[in-house]
Amino acid sequence: MKVSELHAAFISELVELMPGWTFVKSSRHFKRTDGHVRWLFHVSFANYSDAFDALGDVAVEYVAMKKRVAIIGAQLANIAGTGYSPHPVSSRASAIDSARALAAEFQAVGLPVLQRYSDPAVALAALEAGGREALLISPLSNLHAQQLEALQKLCAPPNNSSKPTPLRGAA
């Protein structure tokens, strides 16, 4: 089987295992949107001549006025603390088995991260604290200041300064 056919078999099985998620073929990720938060589950492939390894990562995008204002995320194996943990595919049968294994890893490891960091205040607190958790969800520390600023704005109480000041004596 060609590697491209193995990709198709793997993705086809994974789509079946991800009800309620939209698969975006061009980006090879699954997405789900809830209000001002978009969840992403991205699948990447390390290709070889007749096989590939599949890896997954998750991300939370914070959206305001239909634009991404910040994003945090991590590779599933890094979240689990297992390091490089590929799902090998070399046949149709292994494509199905590996898709199931990656879906299970997503449910056990990725989904809790998406749920936890859907609250921008939690992501803000992690980035403000710095350290291991901040580097896990945002490994490029040079972006932390920008992310902190965006998350602080998301967490700020609404600005009511546009409300007119009532006139004296008005009811």
Cβ contact 73:40 at 8 Å: yes
The residue extents of the domains of the chain are 3-153
Nearest-angstrom CA–CA distance, 70 and 126: 14
Which two structure tokens, joined as six digits, stand for 98? Answer: 């590996």
Q: With pLDDT > 90 as the criterion, what percentage of the chain qualifies?
A: 80
Nearest-angstrom CA–CA distance, 26 and 5: 16
Nearest-angstrom CA–CA distance, 142 and 85: 27
Q: What is the pLDDT of residue 166?
A: 46
Within 10 Å of residue 11's Cβ, how many Cβ atoms?
A: 18
What end-to-end distance do the CA atoms of the chain give, in Å?
A: 78
Tell me the average pLDDT across 35-64. Answer: 96
For 56-82, give the DSSP string.
EEEEEEEEETTEEEEEEEEEHHHHHT-
With 80 as the cut, is the pLDDT of residue 163 above it?
Answer: no
With 80 as the cut, is the pLDDT of residue 164 above it?
Answer: no
Q: With pLDDT > 70 as the criterion, what percentage of the chain qualifies?
A: 92
Tell me whether residue 73 is exposed, middle or buried, using C-beta atoms within 10 angstroms of its C-beta: 0 to 12, 13 to 18, 19 or more.
buried
Tell me the average pLDDT across 86-107. Answer: 98
The model's pTM: 0.88
Tell me the average pLDDT across 4-25. Answer: 97
